[in-house]
Amino acid sequence: MESLSFLSKPFSSSSAAPFPRPTPLLPRRALSSVSALHMSSSKEAKLWGGRFEDSVTDAVEKFTESISFDKALYSHDIIGSRAHASMLARQGLITDDDRDRILDGLDVIRGQIERGEFVWRTDREDVHMNIEAALTDLVGEPAKKLHTARSRNDQVCTDFRLWCRDAIDAIVSRIRKLQAALVKLAVKNENLIVPGYTHMQRAQPVLLPHLLLAYVEPLERDAQRLLDCRARLNFCPLGACALAGTGLPIDRFMTSEALGFTGPMRNSIDAVSDRDFVLEFLSANSITAVHLSRLGEEWVLWASEEFGFIIPSDSVSTGSSIMPQKKNPDPMELVRGKSARVIGDLVSLLVLCKGLPHAYNRDLQEDKEPVFDSVKTIMGMLEVSAEFAENITYNQERIKAALPAGHLDATTLADYLVKKGIPFRTSHDIVGRSVAFCVSRNCRLEDLSLDELRSISPTFDKDVYEYLGVEKAIKNFSSYGSTGSECVSGQLDYWIAKLELSR
């Protein structure tokens, strides 16, 4: 099971003011005396409150907070702070004792958060200041040194890159599960021939596994796109500080390595400015969502009375509150529907970023919710699509009965004439006339006698019947990547090995 702990639960209503102060485990140290003197109300001084004489209004506080959603970053914020504190100690910027008290305090805070005991405070604005202020409550002076050579600007995008990295791993693992479900469905129906469509009109016969693998392939590209994005975003902004870096002797390579990044970002302004990593991530999610939406559309169609090609089990169907007979494929309709949100999340982010001048702007706080929503939505879409795949039965009789209609073997017949030396355009015309003949007789191509066929073209010979009918048509496909049995069986073997499944 992949860990989904980074997708934190919705913010509880207990977050609303008034805020009970958490019981400090260690005596709370005095706030900076300057800030405390300046505060005209009973509100706690902001961590940034030194130059302010008045506290912000309640409306501004509520409007500007991000704790209600960015607390989802708590684990990555703690990991980042641990790496930063260790680096500060090694560089002699804080003592080893300071570091140890910070690390112990962060462990306590992690425990409180994970047990649901931590009180998230809107007046402490965001996850970074909630944790830092709580750490100060807990361990006093050493905590005040943690923000040395760090700004929330580099902190937030470090946290966010770490979060996205985990999210990508979780999504890729769900993609693999859906691929596996589709491959298993293909193995279960290995020889089933279904009509293939273009323009939603009967086109050529295809093997069902071939069609199912046509969804597995794009999912592989989706996974690869996410992994490419992961490699590109895996660079560390920490130490870029507000935008310009610092004159303090920090070691950015050390924090980068401790956090599993490939290296520190080269340019401190770029490090805090750009959100291309989430734009790329949500683009990849949007493409995946479009793939899933198309799969959803197909299954909804195939489950209809008109097609009747698939029978979803009751466990993945829902009913109607008025029509007692109804059994609806709602999960796949919602997969189709929710793709809209994933695309919308990307568009929100693109519009958010497009007008921003360089470095950090507060607008960027709005980058979290679209990303959280996109990830939560795509995870659900992938999970439900896999469950649907595991609960589909193909209605073989219905499919078999449907195959004779539509002259699915016509193109194979044209290829037969090409093999006899007829130019393709001519053979297309001959087969077209043969189909018209069938339409007038209301029969199939394979029902025509040799004489009837010869009356259309003398090139037809008795071996023509090796090409007619959907089974024979399938056998005649032999090009690489085609729907021929051998080719499809080879493709299935490839996916079974790649996904470590068995036949």
Question: What single letter denotes the amino acid at residue 417?
Answer: L
**Beta carbon nearer to ligand ARG, 101 or 161:** 161
Instruction: Report the nearest approach of ligand ARG to the CB of residue 152 (Å).
Output: 4
Instruction: Report the nearest approach of ligand ARG to the CB of residue 156 (Å).
Output: 4
* Residues 29/136, Cβ–Cβ less than 8 Å: yes
Structure-token pair, residue 7: 């997708």
The reply on whether position 165 binds ligand ARG by CB under 6 A is no
Of 304, 313, 320, 478, which one is the catalytic site residue?
Answer: 320
**Beta carbon nearer to ligand ARG, 175 or 364:** 364
Question: What single letter denotes the amino acid at residue 29?
Answer: R
Q: Are strands 263-264 and 310-312 parallel, antiparallel or unpaired?
A: unpaired
Of 41, 42, 199, 321, which one is the catalytic site residue?
Answer: 199
Instruction: Report the nearest approach of ligand ARG to the CB of residue 74 (Å).
Output: 13
Q: Are strands 263-264 and 235-236 parallel, antiparallel or unpaired?
A: parallel
* Residues 284/223, Cβ–Cβ less than 8 Å: no
Q: How far apart are CA 391 and CA 400, in angstroms?
A: 21
The reply on whether position 222 binds ligand ARG by CB under 6 A is no
Binding span for ligand ARG by CB under 6 A among 186-194, 360-368, 406-414, 489-497:
360-368
Q: Provide CB contacts within 8 A for 281, sequence distance 6+.
A: 164, 167, 168, 226, 229, 233, 371, 374
In degrees and rounded to multiples of 5, residue 205 shows phi and psi of: -75, 145
Q: Provide CB contacts within 8 A for 124, sequence distance 6+.
A: 44, 47, 67, 130, 133
User: Would you give the distance in Å from CA 118 to the centre of its chain?
Assistant: 30
Instruction: Report the nearest approach of ligand ARG to the CB of residue 486 (Å).
Output: 56
Instruction: Report the nearest approach of ligand ARG to the CB of residue 77 (Å).
Output: 10
Nearest to 421 by CA among 473, 451, 384, 461: 461
The reply on whether position 153 binds ligand ARG by CB under 6 A is yes
Residue 320 annotated in active site: yes
Return the residue of 94, 113, 149, 156 that touches ligand ARG, per CB under 6 A. Answer: 156
Q: How many residues bind ligand ARG (CB under 6 A)?
A: 10
The reply on whether position 189 binds ligand ARG by CB under 6 A is no
The reply on whether position 365 binds ligand ARG by CB under 6 A is yes
Neighbours of 239 (CB within 10 A): 26
Binding span for ligand ARG by CB under 6 A among 30-38, 150-158, 165-173, 455-463:
150-158
Q: How far apart are CA 83 and CA 252, in angstroms?
A: 10
319 to 358: interface string for ligand ARG, x by CB under 6 A: ----------------------------------------
The interface with ligand ARG within residues 66-95 (CB under 6 A) comprises: 66, 70
Return the residue of 84, 110, 121, 152 that touches ligand ARG, per CB under 6 A. Answer: 152
Burial call 315-324: b when 16+ CB within 10 Å, e when fewer? ebbeeeeeee
**Beta carbon nearer to ligand ARG, 126 or 274:** 126
Binding span for ligand ARG by CB under 6 A among 151-159, 209-217, 311-319, 384-392:
151-159
The interface with ligand ARG within residues 3-42 (CB under 6 A) comprises: none
The interface with ligand ARG within residues 119-148 (CB under 6 A) comprises: 126
* Residues 453/413, Cβ–Cβ less than 8 Å: no
Provide the binding-site residues for ligand ARG, judged by CB under 6 A.
Answer: 66, 70, 126, 152-153, 156, 360, 362, 364-365
List the catalytic residues.
199, 320
